[in-house]
Structure 1
């Protein structure tokens, strides 16, 4: 199939992009990487009236570090994070563990982290990490600039807190400090399938005791989930023992709300959550010991 007809504009500045997005009487979509949007248009499941291509806007393709935060611009491609050196410290390691799970190389060369947050697929690796780290999404719109924390951003499948006429310009993620280990593991039916379950974890350990835990779950509910009940099991616990297995069971029973899929019923998916959370926490704990 071919896309339905649409208008196409290429702004050179953020104000020009906002002027195009202000046409709220029509279905206006933003094109950055386009790896999800263009497929939906080709299948005519989406039929936008206007496509706003932001790829010529200078400055949106940068990764910056300031005041303990990493800021990723709207045009930074997935493949940038294949290397742990793209971002300092444990956060760079976490992003590099997640990046290879995103589709395959041609898509990683074009798709963007911020685009994934805008699309808000429940199985998105970046969305799970954003939930775990409580990332901050930065937007510009008719009423000026605003920021939305990840726990308020995701509203449901492919649904976010973005308002009409707004443009996502960047996301900010906290740098993970000394003594923090990270892990990322996902389970999928085939190499090219979306993850049936994905888990991102960061553990901060001092003298063998977990002082902070962050766990994000992908495709375990209708939106990415921060597994706060499981995190509470871990804080104050010794590294090792049965704390990781207990946290996995709590994540499966209390934090996750999986739906049945053609190849995985709810019971199977809860079991997968419990197992993968335990494995990912062990991976993170190994990093914290190094």
Structure 2
């Protein structure tokens, strides 16, 4: 299918991009990788008069370690995340997750910023960013502000982005040395969205869980940070009783749609299965 006619804009700076979006208003959308927006345009579900392409803005690209915080430009692709020695050394769960997104063709063009910014609960990176307690840098005509990933998602495809703003960077606190991590994803076939997925990051001290963070993907209208489930692991030896409690608490916050990926009860059950696997692998990694 062919999208309707639109005007194409290719700004070279963030200032130029946000200026265009402010000037053009609701008739304009920013373009990152395009894997969500372009199909909607082809189906005539997102009729637009202006497309503001962000790919020529060098300031939106790159990965830096700034004093214990990874600053990742919004236009950094999934393939670039997978190739980064900085990510591999400081926060490998990002690479583990990126490797499960779609297929290589998509990962060479799809961006981190696009994956987290459009509010699709099926995307993999939003839940991971909640698990990592990341923040998003949002830039508009009035300047920049930061919003926690855990506060950014308001509903399916509804976020804290205000009119004329673009997401310019993702800031990830580097997890402690020796942390354990895992991203477990159930999908119907290679390249598919998750039926259910779970991200876990934890640390150990003296054989007990010192800290834990859990988030779930595609089992609610937004990615889900499982605060109570995370707290249930802290202080435990990650024994079966503690894991059972965490899985139960995580399942209680899910509300997946009953659709092509299975009925609600099945997807909630699979979220628990993915969480158990993620906790086990994270525990093994933390224990060395």
1:62 is aligned to 62
2:53 is aligned to 53
* Unaligned runs of at least 5 residues, structure 2: none
SS in structure 1 of the partner of residue 203 of structure 2: strand
Following superposition, the deviation at residue 25 of structure 1 comes to 3.9
SS in structure 2 of the partner of residue 22 of structure 1: helix
1:105 is aligned to 104
1:258 is aligned to 256
Following superposition, the deviation at residue 284 of structure 1 comes to 0.5
SS in structure 2 of the partner of residue 87 of structure 1: helix
Following superposition, the deviation at residue 288 of structure 1 comes to 0.3
Following superposition, the deviation at residue 90 of structure 1 comes to 5.2
SS in structure 2 of the partner of residue 97 of structure 1: helix
Contact 2:25/2:164 (8 A) holds in 1: no
1:40 is aligned to 40
- Following the alignment from structure 1 to structure 2, what is the Cα–Cα distance between the partners of residues 84 and 204? 24
- Following the alignment from structure 2 to structure 1, what is the Cα–Cα distance between the partners of residues 271 and 90? 23
SS in structure 1 of the partner of residue 52 of structure 2: strand
Q: 1:280 aligns with which of 268, 272, 278?
A: 278
- Following the alignment from structure 1 to structure 2, what is the Cα–Cα distance between the partners of residues 99 and 230? 24
1:161 is aligned to 160
Q: Deviations over 1:186-222 (max 9, x none)?
A: 1112223210101111011111111110111000110
SS in structure 1 of the partner of residue 46 of structure 2: coil
1:95 is aligned to 94
- Following the alignment from structure 1 to structure 2, what is the Cα–Cα distance between the partners of residues 38 and 176? 35
1:180 is aligned to 179
Following superposition, the deviation at residue 259 of structure 1 comes to 2.3
- Following the alignment from structure 1 to structure 2, what is the Cα–Cα distance between the partners of residues 58 and 83? 18
- Following the alignment from structure 1 to structure 2, what is the Cα–Cα distance between the partners of residues 84 and 72? 11
Q: Deviations over 1:22-52 (max 9, x none)?
A: 1254421111211111111112111111101
- Following the alignment from structure 2 to structure 1, what is the Cα–Cα distance between the partners of residues 98 and 172? 15
Change in Cα spacing, 1:209 to 1:90, as seen in structure 2 (3 Å) is farther
- Following the alignment from structure 2 to structure 1, what is the Cα–Cα distance between the partners of residues 264 and 82? 32
SS in structure 2 of the partner of residue 75 of structure 1: coil
- Following the alignment from structure 2 to structure 1, what is the Cα–Cα distance between the partners of residues 26 and 277? 47
SS in structure 1 of the partner of residue 79 of structure 2: helix
- Following the alignment from structure 2 to structure 1, what is the Cα–Cα distance between the partners of residues 260 and 145? 40
- Following the alignment from structure 2 to structure 1, what is the Cα–Cα distance between the partners of residues 244 and 281? 13
Q: Deviations over 1:227-254 (max 9, x none)?
A: 11111210110134432233112211x2
Following superposition, the deviation at residue 88 of structure 1 comes to 5.2
SS in structure 1 of the partner of residue 59 of structure 2: coil
* Unaligned runs of at least 5 residues, structure 1: none
Aligned residues: 288
Which is worse superposed, 232-241 or 141-150?
Answer: 232-241
